Structure 1
Amino acid sequence: MTGLNGFYQMFDCDLEDTAVGPKWNEWVKELDNYLKWINITDDERKKAALLHHAGVEVFRIYEALEKNSQGDDGAQVVDSIDDMKKKLANHFNPIKNRYYEKHIFRNAKQEEGESIASYATRLRNLSKYCGFQDVDSEIMSQITEGSNNKDVIGKILRSNDELKLEELLDWGRTREVANYQIKDITTSSGTQFTVNKISYGNHTGHVRRCYSCGLKFPHIGECPAKHRKCNKCGVTGNFEKRCRQEVSQNKKSDDQVNSINKLDSNEYDYYAFSIKGDDRLPRAEVMVNNNLISFMIDTSLLLISLMIYPYKSIDPLPMLGEFETEITWNGIISRTCFRVVKGEADCLLCFKTAMELGIINMVNKLGQYEQLKSQYPKLFSNKIGKLKDYELDFHVDEQVKPKKQFHSRIPFHLRKQVEEELKSLLDQDIIEKADGPTTRISPIHVVPKKNGKIRIVVNAKQVNNAIKRESHICPTVDDLVHKLNGASWFGKLDFNHGYRQIVLS
């Protein structure tokens, strides 16, 4: 019996109703093959092996089934291994609806990449409960309806009812192998076969349209829009639907360069770009010598340097001069130095001056990280915290029968990481070790991450069935917009393992 320990596939009774029957039939066949391999022929040992390896749930189901009646001599008749299999098969396999099974059979289509032999095998499995008199004929008929192989369909239609299913499958396999070999040969040799496409239909060709009126061009006489004024832009020479100003505006990008100053150089040509009229840029109206001037705030510019260089240039811009004056913004006065360059562009205000005037505020400097870390050590630790003054209470439906799901096998190369992750969760008091009998067991699954770490996922399907749901109203977009009305500061928080921070009661 030591060799029987190698068969560890316990049967899962919690599958869906449509899947539990076929899975049970497969499980019994695998067990029979294994018993033959280890040379177990005694019926009593086969019965014991079936009930032991199927699991406790299958054992309880069999005990609840009606046993065979007494014999002629009054003695209790013990079920044989075949009787046991038949009773359990009748329990797990629901009564088949022949019309529904035929519906499934008729809607089975050949999948992409599926061979004709595999498709025929799938159809044969689907035809078991359909009650067909001639199964091979029905399979060939469904291949004609659902196959994506035109060669096989043509072979059936040209056979005149003389072709058998086995002959069709042999021919189809040969055809598929030949097509694969031809493709491999032509690909490796670099030979390509090209054919000319034949198109049917009337082709009138491209119709040229006039840019001014939109009618067919060339005109027989004068253009109808030659002396007409556009109702949109007022320009004479085009209709409103062909407004040239609208076309030119549509071609412009939202982020466009309005002024380009070219600087002459002996070796290279460099360009200085300034963007105007974009309300999305940070700007401020600052009073300079009783003149209100619009400045663009350049937070990357700490101070106005002695030399100003255009983008990717080694030559500075021509400097006209500099002056020092007082500037005012919202009652705050600061004294700074301005430098004037040749050309037309926006006025820039450096970061230091914008800070002195209070136009921009520094929330936290990067240099304060160590100070904040020492001031709030718990916030900068790698451990997961807990939601304060809150415990989540699950409403358990006691009428739902507790179920123990089977343990999922963890790959050997991931077991060490799983043990380390579970120990980390125990140390952080996120999970607790279960001592004593447990009525509900949920298996875990391990998902490898791209960074080499793992994520442990719990399959709580059966546990969720016993939890009563709480209903809450989900806010609409209009509700959220109404609540955000008048707000000027917006933020986004990314919780680190948010579900693990909630304490369960």
Structure 2
Amino acid sequence: MAQLQTFEPFDCEGDIHSVGSRWVKWKRGLQIYLLAANIDSAVKKKGHTAAHRQGSRCLSGSNPKLDEYFAPKQSFVYERHLFRLLKQEEGAKFDKFLIKLRNQSSKCQFPDDNNLIDQITEKCRSVELRKKILMLGDTVTIEKIIVEANTLEMVERQLHEYQRLAQNLGVNKIDIKVNKFDKLNSECTRCGSKRHKADNTNCPAKEKTCIKCGFKGHFQKKCRTRAQKRKKENIPKMPAKSESDLKKFKTSTEIDYIFHKDADDTVNCLIGGVEVPLLIDSGSKCNIITDKTWSHLKTHAVHITNQQKSTDRVFMAYGSTNPLNVLGSFETNIIIGSEGHEATFYVIKDGTRDLLGKETAIKLKVLKMEVSVNSISEDPFPKFKDIQ
């Protein structure tokens, strides 16, 4: 049988704070060496370890002075401090974290595993493991914690492997489609802002009432409510015209025709401090809003001047022989971007669209009229009944 190598003697030099723990470690190593060499008697121990007699005497139990000498050199307060500093590093497995805790706790001489359990609960990285420990309560043990930790890590590895295999099978193609969908819907469906989504609690349109459908939660420009589902509510309106006023309109020599297309290309304006989307109508001289929009403006404390309950103007849609019911007019400041202008607005009962007239649109620099036509072919414009 091969002869065991001679065990190295204890080194008393080095850090004075660690001499106690180094002595315990050396003493344990010497015990293992003597056990492996089948040296069981004190006489054999003394003869076989002549190079380190101090160790053999201590191990034989005849002279415990070295234990008494080295023990005071070990500061348990400092060792417990080091124990409390231990935490599970990012990416480290639980078993390695537990080994570090056990090694350090052996130097602290804790009476039980409670400090070990507390340190795991506080310094482990897994929130799920911490939840499991708290659910176990007073019945928790180190053995139960080890089982739970190993189970969670195994499930985590399985989920990671599952996701990796799923990506290799082509699920990433679905992700690309989802990304394209998100890109198309990157703006808020309530107000149109690209800075937040529709579920943002600070969306300015969340508590606003749509002046097109009557439902709360979105601006008119983002309204998608079908016509048959729109609310039929009694919205406050300007006083209606008297019969004499209507006769005056019908006999007026000046008629303002209004032409607009049913489209969604609008421009956002601030009318008296209230945001309203308007459709630019190059075929109308005047600015027109519906009675619903007027109610919306009043609800949001619009700033206006020179409010009139009646007007001499007569408005008529192209192709129609009946004048529109004008409830009144007012003057206010309208702002588009960095441009502002004082303008007059007319309120139409049961109107369908809010229109920005040609003259105001030109002054606000959102409409540019240019004439560069040299010749006109026959019948270049559409014809309307009873209109020249």
- The TM-score normalised by the length of structure 1 is 0.31
Q: Computing the radius of gyration over CA atoms, which structure comes out larger, 1 or 2?
A: 2
Which has the larger helix fraction? 2
Higher relative contact order (CA 8 A, sep 6+): 2
- The TM-score normalised by the length of structure 2 is 0.39
